[in-house]
């Protein structure tokens, strides 16, 4: 079967329905010219017929099926407003693609004003001229340092035809910034009716008052308690933020009518549910139906159509500088109606800064001591920290927002129709310390989960039937009983003087680890049916990459230290030999992996994805197999949990993967961990010493300090702990995917990307009031980019301009271009299969090429002619097995006997989630590829791929002979490759739980090398050496085609890294929605499944063990002393943990500082 590249499809065709509105509803000028929402370039779609406005609407509406078998079902009929754009920023994921913007056919100016004239006349408003605007834009955007890119930006401005030196005679940057700030804060002038800014969505300052508890102090009520005022709280009114977001250009692509999305893999296959965006998930669909039902009960007559705007929240504290203790605790708001593929791009400014939460200042203790004569106890401080967070949320969720929440607010949409918009909260992404703050439960308590009431000793049963049943049975739900318990506890604290952490308060609050603080979301939204526990979604970055996997990796390092025999050094050396892959997908492991210095979440992810070959045979049996099985299950679970497009089958696979992972991790603990006496790593011991020293310095008189006065000279024994919230959270991912969409939509990584912006703002802000300066910088930059968006749209539609570059390079002779050899390679057309440069400076005469004396180039020229001739004749590729005679080869002539070498081949492909992406193939750094196989051996298990290493990238020009017409040179691109063969003895695949192993074909075999059409390349592939088998020179004698870094040896075998990214994972697992052209070949993988994936209800025996694992229920040993468990229970977080540390993906402040884990394994 020949590989055929498929373009990503446009969404299933939807013909929007008319919506009855009052005749008084205003229409946008030019609305009659607005085209149909069905784009004219739909290909491969089965469009639905036009809807007759006089025909009663069916209760549901099914779209046509697109070329990939995807269709949608709208439960309440066809949408009256459908985003008719399919933004290239959403479809095309590679930065090398040349994108042309949106496919919208509405007038470009309609989002900026009411007419073309008014928009063009106010193009640079409020600036007096283009020069002032350009300089202000440059000074307030981009990076802070005088970097090369920033100098280039400045040069572009100076060369801009709109720039005029005459406009600079009275330009003052400081005054211009102040004038601009006043303008966006005070609103448009009368003469400027086309302002892009809403003055009501600016920053406000407020004060909240915390009621202070004191042990033994009796008062009539809580309102009589002494208050501590927290001043200068910066926040924005959420309703105004939403209104401003609806007036931005990006709102044109918002989805207002949720839908179920389905996929049919073939004509006769059953339809399968898809999960991706928030607006295709159950929570959004159910809430939209509930709002629509409530509105339908309101009186008679014509009412505005009701839609909901989904609110997704992120918050996390971050350090603002590399030195000092300056930090910021921002709350970010995103709009769930916008595609997640756009929300995640910081350049599009989809994040709305909602508030900056202050810390409880050092003045608090002074105030408390002044009032009560003694410093506040630890439990009082913890209580006040909780109070502060929820008081700020009560401030944010104001009366205007609540009125809109209940009754909606009117907004005129781009189609000129006014609809009623209802704000709704859906997700809140935060790390564990913030989750417990928001859920109002105790930190690391007996019931540590904010979503259910699981007991800590039962956490190790992850994946069992008992665990799943317990989650459903104890799922947290806000209730009046909880409100009564909290009210009684607060009454005891303030009227009886009972300490917040006393046993009496615990008794009143019950057994669910509640705190005497009621959630602000509960106070405001519970009467309207909102359950605030449900919005606290799992967090893949903190809970798995920096949680379960990091803790597992740390304990594996302890085991290797205990095992001795250079195991740790071998691991470090192996990781350093792993090739990088992609644009930062797998980075070079430059430092010792075992030391774990300066590692971010992405680095731990890389360690996991490459772990199996690295750990192989570092331990003796049976521990080697146990560890490799655990690593395979960890990587499988991680890949499934991180998919950006799920089918119902893949969600069930995630549930089954959780079962297998639970079984594997318990087996690892029970067998391997008990076989070794593991102690602290040197870095852990040093970090413990620093923590003890810091505790002594801060609290010299407390009991906790006395307990900490122990020696740190000897390393402590460390056991593997399964009683952690982060391990427990893995069982909630399948539920959350069905409820809120895939995890990439609400991972904390999205919020973390905003931190680099606030750090940039901090460097420009006043250090006396950094929060105020940051808020001003944020608002200013966002406003400037709105103007830039308007100007760019005008430039694109009102003028045309092209730029060209010329350059010269010297020619070299080498099979593979060197690092210093540069060639021109502009942006790629995403619609083509591949992209190779057109440069001709690296040319080689084919008759001067090294001949048969090099084993890697033997018979190069005749085989090249055979390949070119077969391409010209249009023969199906068969592995270059067809050989032509010398006479037949004379049918073509290579122009000037020249072939041209290139440095990079860009391979475009459609990913499993229907996006267009790209691999860069470089023979020096990323040389390995896969193509569809042409296997005809019936005695071996079929495999869909062939594997090759690209030795050279070429193009040439040929002329066909025998034609009466004047010869026209034809360009042909080709690759010279070295083939791999599969290891048929090695057991691999999903049932065997091991990676596929391949090795180079011996150079004595005529098929060891060959030529290949670049259009046949499916993707680049990541290969990791089978380190245990070592290297050899038997496959190929010294040759010019081998990389210098490899010397004269090859690795005996390589493992195919199927976990390198999500698309690669789905190409080796099968079932990828976007893998249309390879689906028939890769369906063979669907039959290779572990028994857990094949059985849903019955038990399966393997090696005498019960795989169902449903009857198992045990209590876990926490792996640490009770004293360690109790030390932080109920706290907000260990000191310093509320701030973002280096492991969260940002720069490290200290090279060797190890942040104390929230729950260590």
Tell me if 1123 is assigned to some domain: no
Domain annotation covers residue 1038: yes
The Cα 141–Cα 781 span in angstroms is 6
The separation between CA 255 and the C-alpha centre of its own chain, rounded to angstroms, equals: 21
DSSP-assigned beta bridge partners for residue 411: 419
- Judge contact between 761 and 777, C-beta under 8 A: yes
The predicted pLDDT at position 272 comes to: 96
Judge residue 895's burial from the number of C-beta atoms within 10 Å of its C-beta, 0-12 exposed, 13-18 middle, 19 or more buried: middle
Half-sphere exposure of 270 (CA within 13 A, CB side): 5
Apex 1093 CA angle, 1092 and 1096, nearest 5 = 75
Longest dimension (CA), the chain: 109
Q: Is the pLDDT of residue 821 over 80?
A: no
Q: Assess whether pLDDT exceeds 50 at residue 59.
A: yes
Q: Tokens 């280039």 label which residue?
A: 152
How much is the pLDDT for 39? 32
pLDDT at position 177 is 87
Residue tagged 């680890």 (tokens): 513
pLDDT digits (tens, 9 = 90+) for 868-922: 999 998 888 767 677 888 888 888 999 999 999 999 999 999 999 999 999 999 9
- Mean pLDDT throughout 279-296? 95
pLDDT at 111: 62
Residue 207 pLDDT exceeds 90? yes
37 inside domain:
no
What does the pLDDT read at residue 407?
A: 96
Closest CA to 440 of 355, 372, 383, 360: 383
43 has a pLDDT exceeding 60: no
Checking if the pLDDT of 99 tops 80, the result is no
What pLDDT, on a 0 to 100 scale, did the predictor assign at position 106? 62
How many Å apart are CA 194 and CA 191, to the nearest integer?
9
Q: Provide the pLDDT for residue 661.
A: 98
- Lookup result for tokens 């005022």: 229
The reply to whether 123 falls in a domain is no
Among the residue ranges 93-97, 1020-1024, 1124-1128, the one predicted with the least confidence is 1124-1128
Task: Look at the chain and report how many structural domains it folds into.
Answer: 1
Give the number of other Cβ atoms within 10 Å of residue 193's Cβ.
Answer: 11
Domain, as residue range, for 880: 834-1087
Mean pLDDT of 320-341: 93
User: Cα(139)–Cα(134) distance, rounded to whole angstroms?
Assistant: 9
Examine the pLDDT at 961 and tell me if it is beyond 60: yes
Higher pLDDT, 806 or 954: 954
Q: Please state, rounded to an integer, the average pLDDT across all residues of the chain.
A: 84
**Least confidently predicted of 127-136, 448-457, 466-475, 995-1004:** 127-136
In a domain, 932, yes or no: yes
Domain-located, residue 709: no
Sign of torsion, CA 1140 1145 1151 1156? positive
Q: What is the pLDDT of residue 978?
A: 96
Structure-model confidence comparison of residues 1161 and 652, the more confident one: 652
**Three-state DSSP state, 514:** strand
Confidence of residue 87 (pLDDT cuts 50, 70, 90): low
The model's pLDDT over 487-498, given as tens digits with 9 standing for 90+, comes to 999 999 999 999
List CB contacts of 914: < 8 A, sequence separation 6 or more: 8, 9, 68, 70, 645, 1073, 1074
- Chain segment 353-396, per-residue pLDDT in tens: 999 999 998 899 999 999 999 999 999 999 999 999 999 999 99
Q: Which two tokens stand for residue 472?
A: 């459903």
Average pLDDT over residues 1036-1048: 83
Q: For 27-31, 250-254, 687-691, which range has the lowest pLDDT when averaged over its residues? A: 27-31
What was the pLDDT predicted at 1063? 97
Q: Give the pairing of strands 1050-1051 and 1105-1106.
A: unpaired
Q: Of the candidates 363, 365, 335, which has an alpha carbon nearest to the alpha carbon of residue 350?
A: 335
Q: What is the pLDDT of residue 1134?
A: 44
Query: Which are the contacts of 554, defined by CB distance < 8 A and separation ≥ 6?
Result: 596, 681, 684, 1161
Does 299 score more than 50 pLDDT?
A: yes
For residue 133, the model assigns a pLDDT of 85
pLDDT grade for 939, boundaries at 50, 70 and 90: low
Question: 1128: pLDDT confidence band, cut at 50, 70 and 90?
Answer: very low
843 lies in some domain: yes
Give how far Cα 278 sits from Cα of 281, 288, 858, Å.
5, 12, 57
- The model's confidence at residue 1064, banded by pLDDT at 50, 70 and 90, is very high
Asked if pLDDT for residue 579 goes beyond 90, the answer is: yes
Mean pLDDT of 408-436: 95
- Is the pLDDT at 1146 greater than 90? The verdict is no
pLDDT > 80? residue 260: yes
Kindly write down the DSSP assignment for every residue of 316-380, as one continuous string.
Answer: --EE-SSSSS-EE-EEEEEETTS-HHHHT-GGGT--EEEEEPPP--THHHHHHHHHHSSPPPHHH
Give the residue-averaged pLDDT of 1136-1143.
38
Residue 612 has pLDDT above 90, yes or no: yes
Region 37-45 average pLDDT: 33
Rg (CA), the chain: 32
pLDDT band at 199 (very low <50, low <70, confident <90, very high): confident
Pair type for strands 843-845 and 330-335: unpaired
Mean per-residue pLDDT, 857-861: 90
**Can you tell me the mean pLDDT for 936-949?**
82
pLDDT band for position 1151 (cuts 50, 70, 90): very low
The two three-digit tokens of residue 185, written as one number: 């804060």
Which residues make beta-bridge pairs with 598? none
Token representation of residue 32: 């009659």
Does residue 1122 carry a pLDDT above 70? Answer: no
Beta-strand relationship, 646-647 and 272-275: antiparallel
Q: Identify which has the larger pLDDT, 1138 or 555.
A: 555
Is-contact 753 764, C-beta < 8 A?
no
Would you place residue 1140 in the very low, low, confident or very high pLDDT band (cuts 50, 70, 90)? very low
- Total length of the chain: 1161
Q: Is residue 753 part of a domain?
A: no
Tell me how far CA of residue 123 lies from CA of 193, 475, 549, 784, in angstroms.
12, 54, 52, 12
Give per-residue pLDDT as tens, 668-724: 999 999 999 999 998 888 888 888 887 777 665 554 445 555 555 678 899 999 999
């Amino acid at each position: 079967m020949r590989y055929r590249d498929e373009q990503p499809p446009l969404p299933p065709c939807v013909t929007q329905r008319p919506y009855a509105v009052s005749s008084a509803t205003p229409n946008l000028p030019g609305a009659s010219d607005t085209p149909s929402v069905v784009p004219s370039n739909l290909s491969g779609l089965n469009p639905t017929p036009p809807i007759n406005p006089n025909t009663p609407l069916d209760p549901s509406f099914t779209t046509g099926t697109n070329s990939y078998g995807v269709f949608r079902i709208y439960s309440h009929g066809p949408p009256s407003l459908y985003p008719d754009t399919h933004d290239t920023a959403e479809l095309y994921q590679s930065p090398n693609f040349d994108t042309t913007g949106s496919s919208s056919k509405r007038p470009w100016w309609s989002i900026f004003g009411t007419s073309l004239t008014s928009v063009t006349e106010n193009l640079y408003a409020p600036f007096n001229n283009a020069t002032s605007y350009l300089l202000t834009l440059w000074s307030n955007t981009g990076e802070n340092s005088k970097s090369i890119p920033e100098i280039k930006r400045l040069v572009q401005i100076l060369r801009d035809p709109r720039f005029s030196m005459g406009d600079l005679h009275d330009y003052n940057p400081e005054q211009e910034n102040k004038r601009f700030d006043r303008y966006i804060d005070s609103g448009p002038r009368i003469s400027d009716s086309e302002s892009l800014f809403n003055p009501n969505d600016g920053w406000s300052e407020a004060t909240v008052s915390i009621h202070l508890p004191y042990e033994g102090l009796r008062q009539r009520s809580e309102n009589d308690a002494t208050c501590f005022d927290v001043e200068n709280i910066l926040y924005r009114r959420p309703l105004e933020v939403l209104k401003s977001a609806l007036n931005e250009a990006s709102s044109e692509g918002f989805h207002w009518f949720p839908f179920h999305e389905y996929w049919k893999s073939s004509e006769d296959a059953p339809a399968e549910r898809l999960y991706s965006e928030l607006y295709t998930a159950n929570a959004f669909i159910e809430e939209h139906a509930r709002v629509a039902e409530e509105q339908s009960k309101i009186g008679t007559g014509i009412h505005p159509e009701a839609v909901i705007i989904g609110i997704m929240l992120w918050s996390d504290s971050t350090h603002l500088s590399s030195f000092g203790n300056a930090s910021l605790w921002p709350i970010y708001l995103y709009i769930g109606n916008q595609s997640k593929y756009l929300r995640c791009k910081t350049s599009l400014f989809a994040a709305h800064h909602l508030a900056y939460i202050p810390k409880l200042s050092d003045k608090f203790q002074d105030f408390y001591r002044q009032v009560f004569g003694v410093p506040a106890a630890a439990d009082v401080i913890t209580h006040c920290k909780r109070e502060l967070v929820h008081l700020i949320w009560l401030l944010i969720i104001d009366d205007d927002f609540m009125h809109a929440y209940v009754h909606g607010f009117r907004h005129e949409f781009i189609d000129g129709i006014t609809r009623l918009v209802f704000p709704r909260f859906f997700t809140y992404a935060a790390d564990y310390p913030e989750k417990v703050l928001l859920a109002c439960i105790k930190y690391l308590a007996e019931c540590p989960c904010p979503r259910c009431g699981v007991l800590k000793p039962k956490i190790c049963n992850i994946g069992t039937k008992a665990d799943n049943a317990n989650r459903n049975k104890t799922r947290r739900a806000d209730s009046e009983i909880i409100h009564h318990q909290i009210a009684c506890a607060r009454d005891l604290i303030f009227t009886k003087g009972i300490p917040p952490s006393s046993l009496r308060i615990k008794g009143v609050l019950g057994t669910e680890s509640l705190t005497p603080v009621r959630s602000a979301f509960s106070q405001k939204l519970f009467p309207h049916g909102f359950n605030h526990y449900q919005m606290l979604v799992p967090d893949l970055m903190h809970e798995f990459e920096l949680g379960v996997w990091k803790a597992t990796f740390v304990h594996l390092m302890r085991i290797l230290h205990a095992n001795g025999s250079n195991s740790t050094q071998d691991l470090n050396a192996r990781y350093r030999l792993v090739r990088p892959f992609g644009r930062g997908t797998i980075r070079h492991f430059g430092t010792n992996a075992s030391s774990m210095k300066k590692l971010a979440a992405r680095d731990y992810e890389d360690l996991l994805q490459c772990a199996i070959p690295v750990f192989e045979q570092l331990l003796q049996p049976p521990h080697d197999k146990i560890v490799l099985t655990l690593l395979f299950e960890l990587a499988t679970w991680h890949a499934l949990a991180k998919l950006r497009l799920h089918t119902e089958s893949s969600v069930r696979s995630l549930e089954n993967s959780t079962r297998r992972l639970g079984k594997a991790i318990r087996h690892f603990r029970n067998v391997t961990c008990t076989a070794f006496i593991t102690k602290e790593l040197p870095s852990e011991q040093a970090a413990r010493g620093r923590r003890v020293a810091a505790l002594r310095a801060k609290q010299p008189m407390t009991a906790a300090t006395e307990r900490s006065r122990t020696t740190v000279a000897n390393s402590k024994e460390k056991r593997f702990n399964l009683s952690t919230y982060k391990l427990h959270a893995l069982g909630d991912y399948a539920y959350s995917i069905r409820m809120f969409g895939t995890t990439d939509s609400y991972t904390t990584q999205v919020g973390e990307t905003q931190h680099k912006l606030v750090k940039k703002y901090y460097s420009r802000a006043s250090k006396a009031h950094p929060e105020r300066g940051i808020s001003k910088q944020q608002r200013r930059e966002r406003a400037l980019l709105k103007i830039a968006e308007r100007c760019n749209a005008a430039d694109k539609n009102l003028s045309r301009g092209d730029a060209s570059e010329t350059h010269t390079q010297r020619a070299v002779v080498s099979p593979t271009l060197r690092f210093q050899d540069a060639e021109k390679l502009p942006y790629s057309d995403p619609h083509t299969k591949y992209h190779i440069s057109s440069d001709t400076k690296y040319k080689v005469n084919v008759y001067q090429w090294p001949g048969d004396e090099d084993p890697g180039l033997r018979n190069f020229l005749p085989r090249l002619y055979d390949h070119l001739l077969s391409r010209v004749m249009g023969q199906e590729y068969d592995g270059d097995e067809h050989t032509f005679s010398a006479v037949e080869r004379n049918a073509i002539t290579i122009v000037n006997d020249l072939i041209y070498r290139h440095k990079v081949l860009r391979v475009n492909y459609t990913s499993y989630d229907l996006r267009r992406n790209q691999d860069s193939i470089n023979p020096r750094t990323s040389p390995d590829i896969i193509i569809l196989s042409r296997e005809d051996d019936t005695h071996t298990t079929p495999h869909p791929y062939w594997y090759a290493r690209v030795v050279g990238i070429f193009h040439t020009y040929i002329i066909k002979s025998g034609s009466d017409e004047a010869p026209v040179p034809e360009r042909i691109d080709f690759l010279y490759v070295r083939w791999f063969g599969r290891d048929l003895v090695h057991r691999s695949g999903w049932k065997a739980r091991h990676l596929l192993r391949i090795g180079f074909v011996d150079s004595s075999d005529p098929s060891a090398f060959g030529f290949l059409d670049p259009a046949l390349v499916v993707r680049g592939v990541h290969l990791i050496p089978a380190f245990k088998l070592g290297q050899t020179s038997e496959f190929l004698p010294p040759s010019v085609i081998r990389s210098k870094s490899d010397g004269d040896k090859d690795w005996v075998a390589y493992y195919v890294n199927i976990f390198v990214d999500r698309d690669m994972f789905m190409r080796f697992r099968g079932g990828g929605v976007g893998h249309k052209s390879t689906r028939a070949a890769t369906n063979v993988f669907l039959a290779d499944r572990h028994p857990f994936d094949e059985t849903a209800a019955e038990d399966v025996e393997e090696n005498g063990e019960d795989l169902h694992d449903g009857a198992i229920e045990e209590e876990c040993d926490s792996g640490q002393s009770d004293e360690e468990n109790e030390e932080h229970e109920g706290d907000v977080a260990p000191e310093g943990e509320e701030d973002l540390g280096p492991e969260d993906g940002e720069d490290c402040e200290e090279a060797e500082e190890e942040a104390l884990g929230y729950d260590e394994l």
